[in-house]
Amino acid sequence: MNEVGPADWLTTRERLIALVRQILGPPAASAPIRIDARLSDLGISSIKMVNLMLAVEAEFNLTIPPSEITPENFHSITSIEGLLETLAGAGRGP
């Protein structure tokens, strides 16, 4: 039988917010995060953006196709949610 952990109870948005907070690190991680805020405005550098992309792939057990790794898809938490919905619709995501 598969074990169900706390991460299984979180929504996609909650999981994405947790990943962004993890990538930001303290003290920025404790600040409120608007889901439509530009990730670069929150303090996500290009290196941290790569780490976020890798964390999204690991968290959601998927591979983001190179064609989908665009600034538009990683503009905000909302845009990443949209990407995950698109990938799920194509049978490649959560």
State both tokens at 36: 């439509």
pTM of the model: 0.83
Class of domain 10-89: mainly alpha
Sorted by where each begins, the domain ranges of the chain are 10-89
The pLDDT assigned to 18 comes to 94
The pLDDT assigned to 10 comes to 85
| Span 8-46, pLDDT tens digits | 678 999 999 999 999 999 887 788 899 999 999 999 999
Q: How far apart are CA 88 and CA 94, in angstroms?
A: 6
| Span 40-85, pLDDT tens digits | 999 999 999 999 999 999 999 999 999 999 999 999 999 999 999 9
For CA atoms 25, 85, 60, 65, the dihedral sign is: negative
